[in-house]
Structure 1
Amino acid sequence: MKYKRYCKQLSLKDEPELIARYKEAHGMGNAWPEITAGMKEIGILDMEIYILGNTLFMIMDTIADFDHDDAMQKLSKLPRQKEWENYVAEFQQTDESASADQKWQLMERIYEMDQSAVYDASSGQIKSLLEDRE
């Protein structure tokens, strides 16, 4: 199965109490179901967020024909998305009126083991499941 991978970065306000609350808001079972459903609806297959200090790193796997800009525009209009963005803006080191797409900055891949292609960050990286590579 082919899919696309996007990697993004965002900085939180460097305040331990806010960071703890942000982590709690994203803890197992705490993300709003409408937000997860909306991500799936636009073609996001899986998403992981990692933290180090106040830096967040996101891995977002999507359907193979995912158009990042179009999908983020659709996502911004789905139920409760604006409310969620307003809620998490309290924790983030960004303009509070920014959309999720403006907050989360796409990262450029500079290395991949056995790399066979180069991709622009906004185009995503075409990936295959490991089973498909064997």
Structure 2
Amino acid sequence: MRRHSQAQAWPEIRAGIREVGILEMELYILGTRLFMIVETPLDFEWEAAMKKLATLPRQAEWEDYMAMFQLAKPGASSAEKWQLMDRIFYLYP
């Protein structure tokens, strides 16, 4: 499977992520698990943002592409693949 380099990332995806209010996003892979770290404003509403993001250009194609790297049921929704985690430690003061 081919992964995107920073220079090859789809501009529509970057624009959509910013359009819904996400300030920064990082994706990491470990085997068949993807980990996403996002930075958002304090008043960010995750469900509303993801609903809007799903309607933006190339988003469905991006979801299909990311599914190749994740172990999930066929046809799993984005909400089923991406689960919110509780942070249990951070070093910042």
Alpha-carbon displacement from aligned partner over 1:37-76 (angstroms, at most 9, x marks no partner): 0010000000112233333222100122100111111111
Q: Which 5+ residue runs of structure 1 have no aligned equivalent? A: 1-17, 116-134
Identity %: 53
Q: Distance in 2 between matches of 1:45 and 1:102?
A: 23
- Which has the larger strand fraction? 1
Q: Which 5+ residue runs of structure 2 have no aligned equivalent? A: none
Report the AA paired with residue 79 of structure 2: D
Equivalences for residues 9-20 of structure 1 within 5 A: 18=1
Matched, 1:48 2:48: no
Question: By how many angstroms is 1:113 displaced?
Answer: 4.2
Q: Distance in 2 between matches of 1:112 and 1:77?
A: 34
Instruction: Mark the CA change 1:114 to 1:41 in structure 2 (over 3 Å): closer, same or farther.
Output: closer
Matched, 1:81 2:67: no
Question: By how many angstroms is 1:33 displaced?
Answer: 0.8
**TM superposition score normalised by structure 2:** 0.81
Report the AA paired with residue 39 of structure 2: D
- Runs of 4+ in structure 1 off by over 6 angstroms are none
SS of residue matched to 1:59: strand
SS of residue matched to 1:51: strand
**TM superposition score normalised by structure 1:** 0.59
Question: By how many angstroms is 1:35 displaced?
Answer: 0.8
Question: By how many angstroms is 1:106 displaced?
Answer: 1.0
Equivalences, count: 93
Conservation of the 8 A alpha-carbon contact between 1:49 and 1:56: yes
- Larger Cα-atom Rg: 1
Provide the aligned C-alpha RMSD in A.
2.0
